[in-house]
């Protein structure tokens, strides 16, 4: 199945890849030592997984539009990241001892959110580059049913189009 990408699609994918590198590796200095790399991997991986799961759930199970699916996955991923970081800070008891701004700086909230955004952008990069173009729901939405082995035509008699 050969798909032709437009210049806009290539530019979008390039900007997403640059955003993944900048927000994940360059800005938060994630690769300077082992602890920072492990922290990056945890935030990046969980944000990537949550975003991808929300997108697939919204598009396949609930058949929500792509635009609304993006709004849901971005909101849910960042909200889960913020709630996790808040829980992590409160279990250390830092809010009772220090001011809010000191806690934010000392615990690396901005670094964690940057890494979460990197994972989110990587999920969107995968969705835009591979998933959305090859997803069966996309084929169903467009009305284009591939024929041949593994295609929709010919598997079930009721799915044959006139």
Q: Where are the alpha helices (DSSP H) in the chain?
A: 7-21, 34-56, 66-91, 94-97, 100-107, 109-126, 132-134, 136-142
Q: Which of 83, 113, 109 is nearest to 98 (CA)?
A: 109
Q: Taking the model in full, what pTM does it have? A: 0.78
Buried b (16+ CB within 10 A) or exposed e, 42-52: ebbebbbebbb
All structural domains of the chain with their residue ranges = 11-132
Query: Can you tell me the distance from the alpha carbon of 77 to that of 52, in angstroms, rounded to the nearest whole number?
Result: 10
* C-alpha dist (Å) from residue 24 to 1, 7, 94, 131: 33, 25, 26, 22
Mean pLDDT of the chain: 84
Tell me, what's the pLDDT at 6? 85
Q: What are the average pLDDT values for consecutive 10-residue runs of the chain, which has 162 residues?
A: 74 94 90 91 95 93 92 96 93 90 92 95 92 62 53 49 51
**pLDDT digits 0-9 by tens, 75-87:** 999 999 999 999 9
Q: Which residues touch 82 (CB under 8 Å, ≥6 apart)? A: 113
């Amino acid at each position: 199945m050969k798909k032709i990408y437009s210049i806009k699609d290539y530019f979008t994918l390039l900007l997403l890849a640059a955003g993944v590198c900048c927000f994940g590796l360059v800005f938060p200095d994630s690769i300077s030592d082992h602890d920072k790399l492990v922290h990056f991997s945890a935030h990046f991986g969980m944000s990537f997984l949550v975003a991808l799961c929300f997108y697939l759930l919204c598009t396949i199970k609930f058949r929500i539009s792509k635009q609304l699916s993006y709004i849901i996955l971005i909101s849910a991923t960042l909200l889960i990241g913020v709630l996790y970081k808040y829980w992590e800070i409160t279990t250390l008891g830092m809010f009772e001892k220090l001011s809010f701004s000191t806690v934010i700086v000392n615990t690396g909230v901005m670094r964690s959110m940057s890494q979460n955004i990197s994972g989110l952008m990587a999920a969107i990069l995968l969705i835009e580059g591979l998933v959305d173009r090859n997803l069966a729901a996309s084929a169903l939405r467009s009305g284009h049913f591939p024929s041949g082995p593994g295609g929709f035509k010919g598997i079930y008699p009721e799915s044959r189009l006139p």
